[in-house]
Amino acid sequence: MSQRLEKIDNIRGTYDLTPPKSERWTILEDRLIEIVRAYGYQNIRLPLMEQTSLFKRSIGEVTDIVEKEMYTFNDRDKHSLTLRPEGTASCVRAGIQHSMFRGETPRLWYLGPMFRHERPQKGRYRQFYQLGCEAFGMAGPELDVELIQMTAKMWDALGISHLLELQINSLGELKERNAYKAELVTYLQDNKSDLDEESQRRLDTNPLRILDSKDEKTQEIVVKAPKLIDYIDDDSRAHFEVVCERLTKLGVSYRINPALVRGLDYYNRTVFEWVTQHLGAQGTVCAGGRYDGLVAQLGGESTPGFGFAMGLERLYELVDEHSSSPLPQPTPGDVYLVSGSEQQDYAWKVATHLREHPAGIRVIMHCAGGNFKKQLKKADKSGAPMALILGEEEEAKGEVSVKFLRESKEQVRLPLSDLPTLIKKELDASA
Ligand code: HAM
């Protein structure tokens, strides 16, 4: 007897999405995309690999992502490549490359895997999926509101609004932030010995991130620190006020969180995060903000931008475990077709007739032989609500027998031409 070879498993921090979860995941994606489209956003598909310099220049050299999380490698041509850790940089790169920004206001969305070498845990993966939106060429606050309100609509549609809190802040402009940084560093230097180790290190590299520290003692110091919002100039303040007012008018509740600074360097003015208490430590489901300097920073003509990205693993889990309107449990087929070995021609005819019917009926053909009993057992296991039985008699009369697998209803036999109407009626009744 030959020996079984050793199995090969997936890489740590990655996962497989298998049915039925993969099907429900697709339903979730479709619902999100429907909303994105309702706001006039168009799909952009971007490479998973980019030149490493793209992320260094956009996300920032001294951010966690660039310092310690990127999958960077030299390819066979000795080019330094990186698996994208996020989508904004690529989106801006593509927009510049294809002259999409000149006098235009493109609204774009993307969905796909991102890669970060983080310590895997619940809600944190090394390959994870983001749905993101990016919009360009609009400097006013209405765009900020459009994107934030769009995400609120998504939570409504998914029945999870009550589980999420919107936190917003304004980072002002770079020069305002630098003035603030200087004040913050002075304040924190006075308390340096009480800061956690990572924060002490950040004092020299990225002091704003200290505001994000989860360390309790550091948090106590941070609470009393100067607030960025007090340093932003009149224009930034007015912009932020319009965002807040408009959100209120639209019925989107929010909390201003002065410590919200985001972990990527490209932001200015409005930033936001949607946070939940229901997912443990990884509670940020969606995040984004304005990045008016990024296009110029990546070599394009100065063009304002605003966007967000949501982590689909976190969103799926929130919906799956806590939604007030759960995702349906999809079955692979509406009907399961069983037939005698002599009725194969007829079986193909029936299957084709239903699959091509405008009602869009999903048909699983048995395809595996065996007697009717065995086939019906498979039909039952498939989850399909009905089995279609094609025997000698049915074929002779051009009819089909319908067995209801999930209800105690009498089996019926009817002409093939009447079949789609009956199936549709049954499906609608159980929807
Ligand atoms: P981010 O905050 O790095 O922002 O990521 C956005 C979302 O992606 C997070 O809130 C989280 O839900 C999800 N996420 C991040 N890392 C992981 C991980 N390791 N495992 C699972 N989910 C994760 C950005 O990526 C920006 N590009 C967002 C943006 C778009 N800003 C403007 N436009």
pLDDT digits (tens, 9 = 90+) for 347-372: 999 999 999 999 889 999 999 999 99
Tell me the per-residue pLDDT of 252-264, one tens digit each, with 9 for 90 and over: 999 999 889 898 9
Please report which confidence band the pLDDT of residue 422 belongs to, taking 50, 70 and 90 as the band edges: very high
Q: Which segment of 96-105, 108-117, 194-203, 237-246 scores lowest on mean pLDDT?
A: 194-203
Q: Which atom of ligand 1 is nearest to the CA of 132?
A: 30
Alpha helices in 323-384 (DSSP H): 344-355, 372-382
Residue 396 tokens read as: 């002779």
Q: Is the CB of 116 under 6 A from ligand 1?
A: yes
Q: Give the Å distance between the CA of 311 and the centre of ligand 1.
A: 6
Please report which confidence band the pLDDT of residue 65 belongs to, taking 50, 70 and 90 as the band edges: very high
Q: Give the Å distance between the CA of 370 and the centre of ligand 1.
A: 51
Q: Which atom of ligand 1 is nearest to the CA of 284?
A: 10
Determine which residue's CA is closest to atom 21 belonging to ligand 1. 124
Q: Give the Å distance between the CA of 216 and the centre of ligand 1.
A: 24
Q: Is the CB of 290 under 6 A from ligand 1?
A: no
More confident residue, 223 or 335: 335
pTM above 0.85, yes or no: yes
Please report which confidence band the pLDDT of residue 376 belongs to, taking 50, 70 and 90 as the band edges: very high
Residue 193 tokens read as: 């010995």
CB of 275 closer than 8 Å to CB of 283? yes
Q: Is the CB of 319 under 6 A from ligand 1?
A: no
The C-alpha atoms of residue 268 and residue 180 are separated, in whole angstroms, by 13
Please report which confidence band the pLDDT of residue 213 belongs to, taking 50, 70 and 90 as the band edges: confident
The C-alpha atoms of residue 338 and residue 364 are separated, in whole angstroms, by 9
85 secondary structure, DSSP code: S
Q: Give the Å distance between the CA of 162 and the centre of ligand 1.
A: 21
Among 128, 131, 315, residue to substitute to test ligand 1 (most atoms within 8 Å of Cβ)? 128
193 has pLDDT over 80 = yes
Mean pLDDT taken over the chain: 95
- The mean per-residue pLDDT over the stretch 302-330 comes to 96
Phi, psi of 404 (to 5 degrees): -85, 120
The C-alpha atoms of residue 393 and residue 400 are separated, in whole angstroms, by 9
1 has pLDDT over 70 = no
Q: Is the CB of 293 under 6 A from ligand 1?
A: no
431 has pLDDT over 90 = no
β-strand 255-256 against 164-170: which pairing, if any? parallel
DSSP track, 203-271: HHH-GGGGGG---HHHHHHHHTSPPGGGTS-HHHHHHHHHHHHHHHHTT---EE-TT---SSTT-EEEE
Give the per-residue pLDDT at 152.
Answer: 98
Residue 209 tokens read as: 């991130």
Q: Is the CB of 286 under 6 A from ligand 1?
A: yes
Q: Give the Å distance between the CA of 336 and the centre of ligand 1.
A: 42
3-state helix, strand, coil in the chain (%, to 5): 45, 20, 35
Tell me the per-residue pLDDT of 123-174, one tens digit each, with 9 for 90 and over: 999 999 999 999 999 999 999 999 999 999 999 999 999 999 999 999 999 8
Q: Give the Å distance between the CA of 288 and the centre of ligand 1.
A: 8
Give the per-residue pLDDT at 31.
Answer: 97
Q: Give the Å distance between the CA of 356 and the centre of ligand 1.
A: 41
For the chain, report the end-to-end CA distance as a whole number of angstroms. 51
